[in-house]
Amino acid sequence: MDTITKEEIANWFKGLQDTICNSLESLDGKAKFKEDKWDRPEGGGGRTRVIKQGNLIEKGGVNFSAVSGPTPEKILQALKLDKADFFATGVSIVLHPQNPWVPIIHMNVRYFEMSNGTWWFGGGIDLTPHYVIPEKAKNFHQHLKDTCDKHSPALYPKFKSWADDYFYVKHRNETRGIGGIFFDRLSDADGKTKSDQWKFVQDVGETFIPAYTDAVKGLNEKLWSDTDKDWQKIRRGRYVEFNLVHDKGTKFGLDTNGRTESILMSLPPEANWEYDHQPTTELQKQTLKALKKGIDWVK
């Protein structure tokens, strides 16, 4: 019988936040995280950690939260749940780089349970390059495939396809980036134990630093032009559109009276929206062609 408690899960997520923040400070070499602890009036709270104006990261956050209380009616209806109290904990990360050649990265790993016994895990990692470089995309997806394959060879294609569908800017008819993996409501319904699902989520969380380190390697030193910076801001605009229009995590946080500053930490420091913008370089054109579902990056 599984004896994993919500307190044990939350404490591990706190440790993951610590480990990732320490690793990112070393990788950046200049900027340090500033912590902002907060409490939620209805129950729980979190630790928001923000880093900015570094050698690598222009703005980023690594957030931990553990919130609880009566489940808001909006959440009950959206998730088709019976009325009961909830507990939700996890770590959420978004990093916006200085250099347009370096990609945006996002990760979320989370746990949700209710007082009526309902529980599940969710999460994922995805990469949003301003310029899609096939070799880097392949390497990133290989990290995720290797992690998934430790548990089952069926997981990567399933969760990769899920990410393609989830991280999709419908009104633009393009994916947010090159995707990654996405999963939700992992419970014991598919024959896995709670320990099985928890171990998988832990492995995903520990994949973040090696995957991001490889994604950054060799790119942060590349010189960029004003054209590159302008393109970065346009692509950041697409990122903002997804997060504010489609992202379920943003909606969940706002609907549960989460801390707005922490929820909107995912937004970049600067973004542009230019009317009817068209790509001006061949690499920009190739990048747009790569923003579609179903690309096999690890073939």
Q: How does pLDDT run across 189-210, given as a tens digit for each residue?
A: 778 899 999 999 999 999 999 9
pLDDT at 164 over 60: yes
- State both tokens at 248: 């379920």
Contact (CB, 8 A) for 182 and 171: no
Identify the pLDDT of residue 248: 84
What confidence tens digit (pLDDT) does each residue in 27-61 have? 999 999 999 999 999 999 999 999 999 999 999 99
- Provide the pLDDT for residue 60: 97
| Mean pLDDT across 54-82 | 92
Both tokens assigned to 194: 């709670």
Q: Are 43 and 67 in contact (CB under 8 A)?
A: yes
Q: Are 239 and 271 in contact (CB under 8 A)?
A: yes
Which whole-number Å values give the CA distances from 112 to 9, 160, 186, in the listed order?
A: 10, 22, 10
Q: Tell me: the pLDDT tens digits for 114-150? A: 999 999 999 999 999 999 999 999 999 999 999 999 9
Residue 178 has pLDDT above 80, yes or no: yes
Q: How far apart are CA 244 and CA 249, in angstroms?
A: 10
CATH class of 6-289: alpha beta
H-helix segments, the chain? 6-28, 73-79, 134-149, 155-166, 194-216, 226-245, 248-255, 260-263, 282-289
Which residues are within 8 A (CB) of 238 and not within 5 positions of it... i.e. 6 or more apart?
A: 169, 172, 174, 176
Say how many residues make up the chain: 299
The pLDDT of residue 213: 98
User: Which residues participate in catalysis according to the annotation?
Assistant: 106
Tell me the percentage of the chain whose pLDDT exceeds 90. 86
Take residue 299 and report the two structure tokens written for it. 């073939």
CA 135 to chain centre: 21
Q: What does the pLDDT average to over 169-180?
A: 97
144, 125 in Cβ contact below 8 A? yes
Q: What is the pTM of this model?
A: 0.95
pLDDT, averaged across the chain: 95
Report which of 30, 62, 31 is spatially closest to residue 48, judged by C-alpha positions: 62
| CA distance linking residue 56 with residue 217, whole number of Å | 11
Q: Which of 160, 174, 64, 184 is nearest to 129 (CA)?
A: 174
pLDDT of the residue at 182: 98
> Is 26 exposed, middle or buried, given 0-12, 13-18 or 19+ CB atoms closer than 10 A?
exposed
Q: How many CA atoms lie within 13 A of 48 on its CB side?
A: 17
Q: Provide φ and ψ at 44, rounded to 5°.
A: 85, -165
How many other C-beta atoms can be found within 10 angstroms of the C-beta atom of residue 34? 10
